[in-house]
A and B are shown apart, each in its own frame.
Chain A
Amino acid sequence: MGIILKGISKSYDGRAVLENLNLEINQGEFHVLLGVSGGGKTTTLSVIAGLIKPDSGSVFIGTRDVSDLSPDKRKIGFVFQNHALFPHLSVFENIAYGLRLRKITEKEIKRKVDYYLNGVSIAKEKDKFPSQLSGGQKQRVALARALVIEPEVLLMDEPMNSLDSMTKETVLDELKNIQQKIGVTTVYVTHDQAEAAFFGDRVSVLNNGKVDQIDSPVGLFRHPRTEFVARFVGVKNILKVSPIKINNNEIIVLIKNEGLERPIKIRVKKYPVFEIDKEINLCIHPEKIILKKKNKVPENEIPDTGLNRIYGKIINITDFGNVLKVTININGMEMYATIPKNLFNFNIYENVWVCFATNAPHPLCGKKCRAPASERRCLNNSNFAPLNGG
């Protein structure tokens, strides 16, 4: 069954957590809900599950309006953060719990529980208690417990948080397999953009109680539509600019990023979205930046033709094998460049020119605006790096 959230709002003590949130999740889809911690992800899942009553809005599962149903009537499976297994019940009884409520024979209960015990490869542990299980095993029990009741939708709240990265990968793979096999509509909540990237059929990014963007993982990484999404998926070099002059096929803009001491003038390829004085976000992929020695270029104003250049100082260099990731401080704003090692002949704290072509910066509008070749490169490269990584 698909899930539809219509105009969901929820606030606590006057502080809005969800604001008119709309979301449509297709039947059988593996949907990733991505957002910073405290961003309202758990609240959204709880609203779908009926554990939290929203201030306004409605929830549909398939064609059923479940807005006024209590959680036990919604036919959902919920895998909670930190598993929330029943500590006083064995693994078998944890999984059987939902079945015992339904009028099912003991034999049928045993058959179903065994099926899911095997499905998540935890059959050996069926007589253990939750406190005797490892994180990964608890995770599997929680999944089996949610699936055994054959829910119409499966909701998972940061299920992999407590797992180490090795276990995480294995469990994620298994999870995806099981989900595909039974085809249950799944909403998977995470704050980890790497999980989102490899997983969902589609990803929605939650920001300030609203969905900023719904897209395929690839779409999200290639064409982030807002600055938040861009930063969240790890896009570097986001420039807040306001156009001041539009020429034939070029446009002059002022960079006005926060922290920048004074605006910097650059020339940019003309895109239809530009309007004079309308602030817009551009991004430059770190591989598109070239560094030049200070003395090689005269220190005059911005050139009218050729590359843009901005004066800055190298403040960090990180080695990534073939390439170096270089951080440059430009009057209080940081920019990042990825430079092949053999082309790099600078020292840390050296003053340099940061140069890039007029067609390097492109708008964060969500529309395709780059040539396929460079798209491929930007997908393979830095975009998948974690936010705080080099």
Chain B
Amino acid sequence: MKNFSFDLAISLIAGIFVCLIILPIFALFTATSLSELACQFRSPMVLSSVLISLETSLAVVFLSLCLGIPVAYLLAMKDFKGKRILDTLVDLPVSMPPLVAGLALLILLGGNSKFGKLLSCYGIDLIFSKKGIIIAQLFVSIPFLIKSTKDAFESINKNVINASLTLGASRFYTFKTILLPLAKNGIYTGIIMTWARALGEFGATSMVAGCIPFRTETMTVAIYQNAMSGELSASIAVALLLLVFSFTLLLVFKLRVRVHAR
């Protein structure tokens, strides 16, 4: 009897959890009519936010590969002074509230800082621009790529790398022909997580880039703006599209993990 009531209690609690997740999503899908949605999907503002989000997040994925793989290599393969510090720096953006990150970037890149002034001398204006969005998204999402790639590098048998070296390969050739192919799965996982994080980024982006429709309004920003100004159906339309994107990425990620585990 005791067991039965325990099981019942556990099931009830799990049920509450399921409601917590499912009900809001359900509400989202049912808050507006299909015809209204179809109309919104064709609205230029919705489309522009989708394009801006895709453009910036793909740029972020590309940049995080360029920056992240070398950093991951350094952390996984080399011993050097300050390695622990670098390692902590990689974790920092993950634990930092995005709004705080955004504020920090705003101050650094804004017209009042020395750095910002220097940049605008050369005609580079990062604040309230797509470049600003990219920097903000990169800041918060690159750690995912670095960590996943670093783990992949670290799990490669050191002697496999040594074998390549003793066979006459340079470190670069070894990197190209051994490390990258063997870390492939980890890098793909990193790309998916980085991309998902960049797509969903709101706090830092809105701080740095503001919310200028058709220029710096990403999907997340559009959801917020429209909801706040009473354009609920536009907001929902963007939200549903974003959900589709992130569920697809989640699905791909889960499938990769399962394939990997085999």
Contact = CB atoms under 8 A, between A and B. Distances in A.
Q: Decide whether A and B are members of one complex.
A: yes
A101 B182 contact: no
B145 to A, nearest CB: 21
Contacts of B167: 72, 97-98, 101, 145-146, 149
B168 interface: yes
A85 B157 CA distance: 10
Interface of B: 157, 159-160, 162-170, 173, 177-178, 181-182
Which applies to chain B's interface (DSSP): helix, strand, loop or mixed? helix
Given A86-B178, A87-B182, A98 B160 contact: no
B178 A72 contact: no
Contacts of B173: 101
A49 B162 CA distance: 9
Given A98-B167, A145-B167, A149-B168, A71 B181 contact: no
A82 B157 CA distance: 10
A281 to B, nearest CB: 38
Interface of A: 46, 49, 51, 70-74, 76-78, 80-82, 84-88, 97-98, 101-102, 145-146, 149
A46 B163 CA distance: 11
14 contacts: A46-B162, A73-B168, A74-B166, A78-B162, A84-B160, A84-B163, A86-B164, A86-B178, A88-B181, A97-B177, A98-B169, A101-B168, A146-B166, A149-B167
Contact of B159 (A77, A82, A88, A145): A82
A104 to B, nearest CB: 11
A82 B162 CA distance: 13
B165 A70 contact: yes
A294 B170 CA distance: 73
B159 A72 contact: no
Given A72-B165, A80-B162, A97-B177, 20 more contacts: A49-B162, A51-B166, A71-B165, A72-B166, A72-B169, A74-B166, A76-B166, A84-B162, A84-B163, A85-B160, A85-B163, A86-B160, A88-B181, A98-B169, A101-B168, A101-B173, A102-B168, A145-B163, A146-B166, A149-B168
Given A84-B157, A101-B167, A149-B167, A71 B178 contact: no
A78 B165 CA distance: 10
Contact of A98 (B162, B168, B178, B181): B168
A49 B163 CA distance: 10
A46 B178 CA distance: 20
B159 A80 contact: yes
The 6 A-B pairs at the shortest CB distance, nearest first, are namely: A98-B167, A84-B159, A78-B166, A80-B159, A71-B165, A72-B168
A46 B158 CA distance: 12
A88 B182 contact: yes
A97 B174 CA distance: 11
Contacts of B157: 82, 84
A87 B160 contact: yes
Contacts of B169: 72, 97-98, 101
B166 A77 contact: yes
Contacts of B177: 97
B184 to A, nearest CB: 8
Contacts of B168: 72-73, 98, 101-102, 149
Contacts of B178: 86
A78 B164 CA distance: 10
A102 B182 CA distance: 23
Q: By CB atoms of chain A within 10 A, which of B162, B169, B173 has the most?
A: B162
A72 B159 CA distance: 14
Contacts of A88: 181-182
A146 B162 CA distance: 12
Contacts of A84: 157, 159-160, 162-163
Given A87-B182, A88-B181, A81 B165 contact: no
A72 B170 CA distance: 7
Contacts of A87: 160, 182
A80 B181 contact: no
Given A80-B159, A81-B159, A84-B157, A51 B165 contact: yes
Nearest to A73: B168
Contact of A51 (B160, B162, B170, B182): B162
Contacts of A51: 162, 165-166
A159 to B, nearest CB: 12
B114 to A, nearest CB: 43
Contacts of B162: 46, 49, 51, 71, 78, 80, 84
Q: By CB atoms of chain A within 10 A, which of B159, B165, B169 has the most?
A: B159
A70 B166 CA distance: 9
Nearest to A52: B162
Contacts of B159: 80-82, 84
Contacts of B164: 86, 97
B182 A80 contact: no
Contacts of B181: 88
A93 B163 CA distance: 14
Contact of B163 (A73, A78, A101): A78
Contacts of A72: 165-170
Q: By CB atoms of chain A within 10 A, which of B162, B164, B167, B178 has the most?
A: B167
Nearest to A97: B167
A97 B176 CA distance: 13
B104 to A, nearest CB: 39
B251 to A, nearest CB: 26
Q: By CB atoms of chain B within 10 A, which of A46, A71, A82, A88 has the most?
A: A71
Nearest to B173: A101
A30 B178 CA distance: 31
Contacts of B170: 72
